[in-house]
Structure 1
Amino acid sequence: MHDAPLIATLVSGIVLAFVFAALAHKLKLPPLAGYLMAGVVVGPFTPGYVADGHLAHQLAELGVVLLMFGVGLHFSLKDLLSVKNIAIPGALGQMAVATVLGMLLGWGLGWPFAQSFVFGLALSVASTVVLLRAMEERRLMETERGRIAIGWLIVEDLAMVLALVLLPAIGTALGGGEQGGTTLSFAAIAGTVALTIGKVVLFVALMLVVGKRLIPWILKVVAYTGSRELFRLAVLAIALGVAFGAAGLFGVSFELGAFFAGMMMGESKLAQRAAEETLPLRDAFAVLFFVSIGMLFNYHVVLTEPLVVLAALAIIVIGKSLAAFGIVLMSGRPLRTALTIATSLAQIGEFSFILIGVGVAQNLVSKEAQDVLLAAAILSILINPLLFKLLDRAKPWLDAREVRQHGDVVVPASIEPASEILVTSALSGHVVVAGYGRVGRLVGEALQEQGDAVLVLEEEKERVAMLRQQDIETIVGNAARDDVLEAANLAHARALVVTLPDAFESGEVVRVARLANPQLQIIARADSDACMEHLQQQGATLVVLAEPELARCMLEHLRAGESAPGLA
């Protein structure tokens, strides 16, 4: 075990994460509770095997990089600019409120000013991993709420980049310095600020001018080779290479570099394929991120300083969220958006740990304050999914409220599209097509030519726009969601055609549809024998396996060619 610390850390983290996540699922708890517990078990504060914390942190950092790259793939520059008026003042205002609250807590405890300031600043920034996982689980990434949350994260990321660079200089200034006193230190701070901002601007400009053209071109060239392995390698090389280069050459965080790499790659028509190729790695390393957090948790601080931990937790979950809630409402956004953003930000994570760690290294923060922050962070991460569940339960009330407010009025641009309020289709005897990719489009066009009523379930915004231009009734959302399937009126449908490429999502669609209508004809696609068996077990009437059907068509054409006149 000790001869191979990297392998031991990976294996112990993933295996225990699986065991505890399965147990959490059995107890109706969020999976990340299991991931955190796995980290506590292999951490230095519990008996038994102790994983390498330094390696675990680096693996977790890789997970955040891949996650931000995936976000960038689906997040265009236009989306980023569309929310700048709320994301920039909102993030800075919320960070200022949380920092002041943290400083007041430190003042009440008798902490030095520097420690209180760093502690408060660490409380102000949300975890990228936690927020994005919550958004992805609820399919909010393409909504206005999702765009605001991502923009908010980017602003916080930039602020933290600046803070991490300036913290040593600030420590010198607060300490009086040894090279000319405080005046010299503030002059050095001003120079450092200018240099850091200049590097960030240079990096962004380089990505917009060069990366926007170079990265899609590289993908296109690699795709022409026909090698899936080479394409996957190219995607990872671009994501990690740009992230590492951004950090090394421009002083930008790995996460921000990866986000811009993904955003530039998103300009390519191959972006969806790139996202699919990196998804397994993103999920695996995101798990290791939570394991690494659990390893840092010293549970003794909860026993020795419970009131301090609760006070820090209250700043994160209540103070920070109320600040964000008020800012979003004042910007003219609807209540649903304000509640979503407030809930999303009611936790802290990776940047908080990095910042407080730098503070400890600079002798600005005590080890006790770091333990308090880590305890509050882990508790906030555990509470956050519960807050989202409460928000999910409020959905019917929020839907009814929006319908009452905007039912007979043109909804302003700041209000999210009406498609998010799912209304049950009035169609009867129709065919529901789940997924409108290449296969779904061919099926849908053929059904329309026959005069059948077609209802499509689709979440990709480009496909949704195309379907609406063709006046095809469309329900926007992931077909595996219960509310989307309910809106499809499966009880009165003639058939369901499932063309989704993901076997798990297809199985969920088939299972829910069969429960909704036991007599429904369900036809699904499969890419393997195991997938076909799974879909049949879930209740599919007919499962079409790609390879045998392709071979049959080829043979039919071959026989037709042999029997045609003039052909030997």
Structure 2
Amino acid sequence: MATTLLSDLLIIFGLSIPVVFTFSKLKIAPLIGFLLAGILAGPFGLGLIQDIENIELLAEIGVVLLLFTIGMEFSLRDLLQLRRIVIFGGGLQLSITAVIVALIFLWLGNSKESSIFLGLLVALSSTAIVLKLLQEKGEIYSLHGRTSLGILIFQDIASVIIILLIPVLAGIPGTDKSFLELILQGLGLILFTILSARYVVPFIMYQVAKTRNNELFLLSVVAIGLSVAWLTSMVGLSLALGAFLAGLIISESEYSVQALGNLIPFRDMFMSIFFISIGMLLDLDILKEHLLLILVATLAVLLLKVLANSLSTFLIGFPLHTMILVGFSLSQVGEFSFILAKVGFTSGLVSSTMYQEFLDMAVLSMVLTPLLMNVGYRTTDFAESLPIPQILRQGWYSKSKENGSEEKPENHVIIVGFGINGRNVVNAAKATSIPYIVIDMNPDVVRIEKQKEEHIFYGDAAQNAVLEHAGIYTAKSVVVTAGDPSSAKRIIEAARRLNPEIHIIARTHFLSELDKFYAFGADEVISDEFESSIELFTRVLHRYLVPSSEINSLGSTLRADHYKMIRSPGIPRKKFCDVAFDFANVEIRSIRVGKLSKAAGMTLGELNLRKNYGVSALAISRSHKIIPGPEAETEILADDILLVISPPENLDEVKKLFEGVG
């Protein structure tokens, strides 16, 4: 069995790579490529894979992981904001679509039970496909994205109830289940979710994160997700719904972003298997035999669902733009319909031919989803230009903005690491009112700083999901303060790949890593060793009275060529270095004029400092005001502070003159 599964996976991945690569070059959604690969590999295509049960099992894992990650991207707070969409929007969409489809099938001569069942099947949409496409477009948090998600959540919950209704519709005796029992189970599950999200999971994840063990962290996340999914299946609910609830539970902890980053590669791999498995279900013989019927049925279902989805979205008060986009986004038949159709077929609600026709129609509707979503955008642009009543254009629900896009930071700086350097950058950002977000891998630091309302979250900045959560696409710069060179290079590479225009500043301890950081995409690399050297000789040059402008120029020159002047021997001495040695035998001192000083009340001309002492007065500070370059007639007063330049051997005599001592 293991060998067969391995060979099947090798076939589908080997076939998928060239197909998806070609589709990507043609700017066609990869999803369609996976569906086509499934059609070719399946028993109704080239027949490379005959037994698809193992593939279907892996596909179900993909759906579970998708719902798990979607749950982690949301929170209970978000779900409560969507309650109006979930209950009223989802209820209206399912009811309107199911009733219309059921009436059509009744008119075509099907039984009442079969018609109701088919109406419910057609009403469901594809959570996997819609959310995948919305994620790829970055619209999961848009108004139409959140509205679609709310309706899909209702459909997923409704699919559980439909499974319970199938034996009743099929007339199977002794299968009735108390709806009161179902309600109690649902309430218990909600209570379990809230308590786990508030108390249990944050404590467990905090203890795991403290170990700094990535493998243990990933295993813990997966174990929590599978545990909740298993518990929901034990009470008669679906694995997918349980996975979504598990994601919601983890989303309430500060470790959700890191958990999401760990799971995304697994989710994407299993989701590709899911789409391939859907393609395998397409029976080409049935499709050729009933081609016209299936095409007409597919177009009719798509048109009907666009209208029903748009109508239900309007009835809950959303504007024209959202109505159209939701209508087209949810127009396909969903993956849960395949599961329900199979149960209905085994229960005798639909015939074998109708079952295959339904599968072909459903797969075609899924294949057309990316195209239909693009048509939705164009239809929206066209509809906006028409003279449409204001209530239809803007919607009638005044609180629609509650479900709008989240405010995302722009032109901010992402600071990786909250050690001494990271804190200093944060303090500088605060002082200059620059928006910032901090990413750190120390769970204790994150917990303490979040309590102080610091803009910080837990995560590994080398993961795409973590950088995306920090707003890498809209950020202006990234500051990498991590001390570990390996981690820093991965962070630099990920940030540069996600946002080629962003300015990356990195810090390193080691000279050997300097050029590597630049090779990975850093714009500036700060070396602890070299910056210390620059600061040391800057102090020396100040001591030798080299002008500040020339010292700053030297520092800029050294940094501009990646410290090569320091790293390379035989650097020629600059002209201003000669200036430093010209001033090597003089000192600048500030001297306060004492009340008993003989100089008090005399002018500089009368004192004749230069002739008598070899001293020049550069400036006088009097009552916190500076008198620069004092003239010969300037009078010296008690408590004045003189800035003088003098040979070291004359300083004692000058001090006695002005301070009035000895």
* TM-score tier (shorter): 0.7 to 0.9
Q: Partner of 1:138 in structure 2?
A: 137
The Cα offsets for residues 534-560 of structure 1, whole Å up to 9 and x where unpaired, read as 9969xx57265xxxx7xx538988999
Q: Partner of 2:496 in structure 1?
A: 506
Structure 1 window deviating more from structure 2 (387-396 vs 27-36): it is 387-396
Report the RMSD for the aligned CA atoms in angstroms. 4.3
Q: Partner of 1:54 in structure 2?
A: 53
Cα pair distance change 1:543/1:390, threshold 3 Å = farther
3-state SS of the aligned residue for 1:4? helix
Q: Partner of 1:95 in structure 2?
A: 94
Q: Partner of 1:69 in structure 2?
A: 68
Q: Distance in 2 between matches of 1:65 and 1:418?
A: 27
The Cα offsets for residues 457-507 of structure 1, whole Å up to 9 and x where unpaired, read as 99xxx9xx988xxxxxxxxx99999x997x99xxxxxx7558795846632
Aligned pairs (5 A) from 1:389-400:
389-392=374-377
Q: Partner of 1:5 in structure 2?
A: 4
Q: Partner of 2:105 in structure 1?
A: 106
Cα pair distance change 1:124/1:503, threshold 3 Å = farther
1:379 aligns to 2:354 (yes or no): no
1:222 aligns to 2:221 (yes or no): no
1:328 aligns to 2:308 (yes or no): no
Q: Partner of 1:553 in structure 2?
A: 528
Q: Distance in 2 between matches of 1:91 and 1:151?
A: 7
Cα pair distance change 1:282/1:533, threshold 3 Å = farther
Cα pair distance change 1:101/1:526, threshold 3 Å = farther
Instruction: Give the CA deviation at 1:24.
Output: 1.0
Instruction: Give the CA deviation at 1:51.
Output: 5.1
Correspondence for 1:207 among 193, 197, 220: 193
Aligned pairs (5 A) from 1:327-406:
327-392=312-377
Q: Partner of 1:491 in structure 2?
A: none
Correspondence for 2:240 among 251, 255, 275: 255
Aligned pairs (5 A) from 1:445-464:
445=426, 448=429
Q: Distance in 1 between matches of 2:214 and 2:467?
A: 27
1:194 aligns to 2:180 (yes or no): yes
- Equivalent pair of 1:212/1:265 in contact (CA under 8 Å): no
- Equivalent pair of 1:102/1:116 in contact (CA under 8 Å): yes
The Cα offsets for residues 219-263 of structure 1, whole Å up to 9 and x where unpaired, read as 11211222111111000111112112210x211100111111111
Instruction: Give the CA deviation at 1:82.
Output: 1.6
- Equivalent pair of 1:39/1:294 in contact (CA under 8 Å): yes
TM-score (normalised: structure 1): 0.74
Cα pair distance change 1:449/1:250, threshold 3 Å = closer
- Equivalent pair of 1:293/1:378 in contact (CA under 8 Å): yes
Q: Distance in 2 between matches of 1:73 and 1:420?
A: 16
Q: Partner of 2:153 in structure 1?
A: 154
Q: Distance in 1 between matches of 2:330 and 2:77?
A: 23
Which residue identity lines up with residue 193 of structure 1 in the other structure? F
Instruction: Give the CA deviation at 1:311.
Output: 3.7
More helix by share: 1
1:266 aligns to 2:251 (yes or no): yes
The Cα offsets for residues 165-218 of structure 1, whole Å up to 9 and x where unpaired, read as 221232116xxx6xxxxxxx7xx64x4433333322222222223454222221
Instruction: Give the CA deviation at 1:132.
Output: 1.1
1:523 aligns to 2:504 (yes or no): yes
Cα pair distance change 1:253/1:523, threshold 3 Å = same
Instruction: Give the CA deviation at 1:397.
Output: 7.8
Aligned pairs (5 A) from 1:304-323:
304-323=289-308
Q: Which runs of 5+ in 1 are unaligned?
A: 178-184, 426-431, 468-476, 489-494, 514-520, 562-568
3-state SS of the aligned residue for 1:64? helix
Q: Distance in 2 between matches of 1:421 and 1:267?
A: 19
Structure 1 window deviating more from structure 2 (345-354 vs 46-55): it is 46-55
Structure 1 window deviating more from structure 2 (91-100 vs 280-289): it is 91-100
Q: Distance in 1 between matches of 2:517 and 2:20?
A: 23
Which residue identity lines up with residue 127 of structure 1 in the other structure? S
Instruction: Give the CA deviation at 1:438.
Output: 4.8
The Cα offsets for residues 367-402 of structure 1, whole Å up to 9 and x where unpaired, read as 22222222222222222212333444578789999x
3-state SS of the aligned residue for 1:289? helix
Cα pair distance change 1:418/1:100, threshold 3 Å = closer
Q: Distance in 1 between matches of 2:206 and 2:97?
A: 45
3-state SS of the aligned residue for 2:499? helix
Q: Partner of 1:45 in structure 2?
A: 44
Cα pair distance change 1:111/1:265, threshold 3 Å = same
Q: Partner of 2:223 in structure 1?
A: 237
- Equivalent pair of 1:207/1:264 in contact (CA under 8 Å): yes
- Equivalent pair of 2:472/2:498 in contact (CA under 8 Å): no
Instruction: Give the CA deviation at 1:323.
Output: 1.4
Q: Partner of 2:401 in structure 1?
A: 415
- Equivalent pair of 1:507/1:534 in contact (CA under 8 Å): no
Q: Partner of 1:121 in structure 2?
A: 120
Structure 1 window deviating more from structure 2 (210-219 vs 121-130): it is 210-219
Which residue identity lines up with residue 189 of structure 2 in the other structure? F
Q: Share of identical aligned residues, percent?
A: 29
- Equivalent pair of 2:258/2:466 in contact (CA under 8 Å): no
Q: Distance in 1 between matches of 2:405 and 2:186?
A: 37
- Equivalent pair of 1:232/1:277 in contact (CA under 8 Å): yes
1:290 aligns to 2:275 (yes or no): yes
- Equivalent pair of 1:14/1:287 in contact (CA under 8 Å): no
Instruction: Give the CA deviation at 1:53.
Output: 1.1
Correspondence for 2:523 among 533, 542, 563: 542
Q: Distance in 2 between matches of 1:268 and 1:200?
A: 23
Instruction: Give the CA deviation at 1:58.
Output: 1.0
3-state SS of the aligned residue for 2:326? helix
Q: Partner of 1:470 in structure 2?
A: none
Aligned residues: 491
Instruction: Give the CA deviation at 1:117.
Output: 2.4
- Equivalent pair of 1:98/1:315 in contact (CA under 8 Å): no
The Cα offsets for residues 91-119 of structure 1, whole Å up to 9 and x where unpaired, read as 12211222233324433543333333222
Q: Distance in 1 between matches of 2:311 and 2:507?
A: 48
Larger CA Rg, structure 1 vs 2: 2
Which residue identity lines up with residue 528 of structure 2 in the other structure? C
3-state SS of the aligned residue for 1:47? coil
Q: Which runs of 5+ in 2 are unaligned?
A: 392-396, 439-449, 456-464, 481-489, 537-662
The Cα offsets for residues 251-281 of structure 1, whole Å up to 9 and x where unpaired, read as 1100111111111111111111111111111
Cα pair distance change 1:441/1:383, threshold 3 Å = farther
Q: Distance in 2 between matches of 1:418 and 1:370?
A: 40
Structure 1 window deviating more from structure 2 (24-33 vs 105-114): it is 105-114
